[in-house]
Amino acid sequence: MKEEILINNIKFWVDQNIIYCKLYNDSVVDFSCQEYERLFCKAISILSDGSYLPVIFDLKEVSRSVSVKLFKFLSNNCKIRSCVLSKVFLVKNFKQKILLSYYVMFSDSKVPNSIFIDSGLAERYSHQYYDVFNSISCEI
């Protein structure tokens, strides 16, 4: 059974070394509030159990304006960046992917931010990134 954490209708869980975060249209996030930063970090830390794992943020069910705000909040957040291996954002259509890709071009993130429409590709990317990280870590 997978451990799940539900905070303000934002669901977190881990499966096969990937942390998933599902945001719903009625998920409540105050983008100016540091408490949400702590909540995201705490959920990720609990699920990762002290190791670096990739995270997939599923934004498919939120509106375009909210998805942009969430993307800006999650993609450049220093505290969230320090607890994850990579960040993947799932969006519902090509327009959203292009819009968010624009923000990726101008961000200075030490942790990769990738955007996918297909969840299978997002998972494959996350597994590959995890495997590469662990193969390098084992060589050191």
| Residue 58 near residue 19 (C-beta atoms within 8 A) | no
Which residues are CB-neighbours of 30 under 8 A, at least 6 positions away? 36
* Whole-prediction pTM: 0.88
Least Cα distance to 43 among 14, 17, 72, 66 occurs for 14
Q: What's the pLDDT tens digit per position in 66-117? A: 888 889 888 888 888 888 888 999 999 999 999 998 888 776 666 778 999 9
Q: Which CATH architecture has domain 4-139?
A: 2-Layer Sandwich (3.30)
Q: What's the pLDDT tens digit per position in 44-62? A: 999 988 888 999 999 999 9
